[in-house]
Amino acid sequence: MTIRTAVVDAAEIIPLRWAVLRPGLPRESAEFVEDRRRETVHLAAYEGAGERVLACVTLFPDPLPGQPAPAWRFRGMASDPAVRGRGFGVAVLAAASETAGARGARLLWCNGRTGARGFYERQGFAVAGEEFVIEGVGPHLVFTRKIVHSG
């Protein structure tokens, strides 16, 4: 199995984002104000030459309060339940880190679901702060990871 990642338009990833992260809510709940920002990047993961989005993430420059390092935040990270544990989420997260780093970020962060804590920690993220609740979505934590530049 080969996992391919690509930069895509928001329209390509919103269906997966909506199905996984906002089930039972209106489709608009899966559309973020950041989707329309010029510097926002949407990434999708596919199996080989396939065209079905199997994982996605959206990232954009956004300082982490209290941190001086240039930071990019990611949102809307989702993977199709049928492929969980097969590396698609890891692939889009790696692509997000590479993309943000290439644009000058030194820190990558998100407000991630508490239930995804194990996944983020396995990817080198640390929890920053206390759990909080996003209304209609559930409990979250802030996850952060330094971006290590090669070369």
Q: What is the pLDDT along the chain (151 residues), one digit of tens a residue?
A: 799 999 999 999 999 999 999 998 899 999 999 999 999 999 999 998 889 999 999 999 999 988 888 999 999 999 999 999 999 999 999 999 999 999 999 999 999 999 999 999 999 999 998 998 988 788 999 999 999 765 4
Per-residue pLDDT, 45? 97
- Strand, coil or helix: 2: coil
Residue found by looking up tokens 């992260």 in the block: 21
What one-character DSSP code corresponds to residue 9? -
Residue by residue, what is the 3-state secondary structure of 69-132? Answer: CCEEEEEEEEECHHHCCCCHHHHHHHHHHHHHHHCCCCEEEEEEEHHHHHHHHHCCCEEEEEEE
In this prediction, residue 151 carries a pLDDT of 45
Q: What kind of architecture, by CATH, is found in domain 3-146? A: 3-Layer(aba) Sandwich (3.40)
From the number of C-beta atoms within 10 Å of its C-beta (0-12, 13-18, 19+), residue 12 rates as middle
pLDDT of residue 17: 95
